[in-house]
A and B are shown apart, each in its own frame.
Chain A
Amino acid sequence: MTAHHPSEQLLHRYSRGDDDIPADQLWGVESHLESCAPCRGRLAPDPTAQAVWTNLEPLLDRTPQMSRARARWRVHGWVSPAAGPWLAMILLVTAAAVALDRVGFVVGERVSLVVLIAPALPVLGVAASWGRSLDPAHEVTAATPRAGLPLVLRRTVAVLAVVVPGLAAAGVLTGVGFVRWLLPCLAFTVGTLALGTLIGVTRAAVVLIAAWALVIVAPTIAFSRMAVALDPAAAPVWAGLLVAGLAVLAARRMAFARLEVNR
């Protein structure tokens, strides 16, 4: 606006905060600065910013700064922090089953160990992801807004993402068809969660592992032949159980936001 810019000396006194500047000059400088960007630029370096910076600089060396590179919670949005070792164990068991099959260890006549272990493996992973006994931070987790069916399903997907490819590879190596292990495996997974909404995930895992030992493993060993339950003809039954489990899950989805489910 005004063509008359304040002198260097006046501007310096103003920026230093001198209180002996005549009122009319002070007013003039202030209103001029409001409308004149080049003169505001002449004020720099801003003494206030300078003072703050001198106080802050020594502190910065002592205070550790946030590291940006490692954002672990992004991974643990899917994989429960407690499940890591269990997922590794699941892969090891699968590999061991394949190895035993390969060296010709058979239970009775041509019973594949891969088919035998398929239903039990994901149950362990699910229990590790949502059980009180295996996840130490279960109570903190249960009280957060994310606790609930969506988080449970994410973690289950993570377990299946390890179990299913592992079993698929094992199936290819040992020549076992998809149908024979995939449906029991999925039915047991959903069954653990569905039963878990009623009696708690850890207890559900124990019950289902016991059922697996009694109904599938014991007859196989006792009669030296594949249990009827793992026959391809039993596929519709497994599919039915899978659907029933999903229905229970949908109906009782709010249970996962409570502490009782961790039992």
Chain B
Amino acid sequence: MTAPTTYAWEIEARDLRVRAGRRMAVDGVTLTMGRGVHGLLGPNGAGKTTLIRALATVLKPATGELSLLGGMDFRELRRRIGYLPQEFGHHRRFTVREFVAYVAWLKEMRDIPAAVQRAVERVGLADRADDRMKTLSGGMIRRVGIAQAIVNDPEILLLDEPTAGLDPAQRLRFRELLAEIGTDTCVVVSTHLVEDVAAACTDVVLLSQGKLVFQGTPEQLAAKGTAGHAGDSPIERGYSALLGLPHRPGTW
């Protein structure tokens, strides 16, 4: 059961600009996101990671407004956010359980052992929970990353390239998990795999060179493409149409 909220959108950004080094990587983005699974699409260097970092409150926006969960105390807000960075660094000598428990402690949680057990079971690692991280495969590490992000039952869940390193069967299971979490959580998933978006997302946000190009449902994105655009599926063609990619096979 979820309590009614006092805000219209979990994430509300107005004319948001965020710097990455000297470059303005997010350059005037205005968007709103509610509960559901939001796919963040865009070519490399479009500003996806920088936007997610700003949503995770680890980067301070240069200008513009960003209101998360209606705006609340900084620490209180962070307790309600789950974040999987693109480069998920971990401590190799920790066991899965120790690492997730350590992150749960950093998130100022109570009743840590039970929450850790639940998170580890949700990503299907219960049988490896007491193994050291250095003995895990790449896909399993990724799942530990997802477990540490969902351990506090976040209201905003930010996943930067979560499907990298997962095999096809694991990706299917991951999409199921996303859909399950997305019913009462605002999930933002950045990816460059268009098929992930088609299968798992209720909403698509397309970024290009730091600007918002499109926000809508996957069907609306597919409707933008025509047979003349590059791509093997309707969504891919819609993606190429919006980015203005020419249909020239053999070129990058």
**Highest count of chain A CB atoms <10 Å: which of B53, B79, B91, B107:** B91
Beyond the given pairs A73-B104, A81-B93, 20 more chain A to chain B contacts, judged by CB atoms under 8 angstroms and listed by A's residue number, are: A64-B129, A64-B130, A66-B97, A66-B113, A72-B98, A73-B101, A73-B102, A74-B105, A76-B105, A135-B89, A136-B89, A136-B91, A139-B85, A140-B103, A143-B56, A143-B57, A144-B106, A145-B78, A147-B106, A259-B59
**What are 19 contact pairs spanning A and B, CB under 8 A?**
A64-B127, A64-B129, A66-B116, A73-B102, A76-B105, A81-B94, A135-B89, A139-B58, A140-B103, A143-B58, A144-B103, A144-B106, A144-B108, A145-B76, A145-B78, A145-B106, A151-B106, A257-B57, A259-B59
A143-B78, A145-B78 given; A137·B129 CB < 8 A: no
Cβ-neighbour of A81 out of B78, B85, B88, B91 (below 8 A): B91
A66-B117, A73-B112, A259-B59 given; A145·B107 CB < 8 A: yes
Which residues of B line the A interface, CB within 8 A?
53, 56-60, 74-76, 78-79, 81, 83, 85, 87-91, 93-94, 97-98, 101-108, 112-114, 116-117, 126-127, 129-130, 148
Per the 8 Å Cβ criterion, residues 15-62 of A in contact with B are: none
Do B126 and A64 have beta carbons less than 8 Å apart?
Answer: yes
A73-B101, A73-B105, A140-B83 given; A145·B91 CB < 8 A: no
Q: Binary interface profile of A, 120-152, with partner B (CB < 8 Å = 1, else 0)?
A: 000000000000000111111111111100010
Distance (Å) between the CB of A96 and the closest chain B CB? 25
With a cutoff of 8 Å between Cβ atoms, the chain B residues found around residue A2 in the complex are: none
The total of chain A residues at the interface (CB under 8 A) is 32
State the 3 A-B residue pairs at the shortest beta-carbon distance, nearest first: A136-B89, A144-B106, A145-B78
Q: List the A residue with the shortest CB-CB distance to B83.
A: A143
Q: How far is A259 from B83 in the complex, measured between Cα atoms in Å?
A: 13
With a cutoff of 8 Å between Cβ atoms, the chain B residues found around residue A66 in the complex are: 97, 113-114, 116-117
Per the 8 Å Cβ criterion, residues 178-197 of A in contact with B are: none
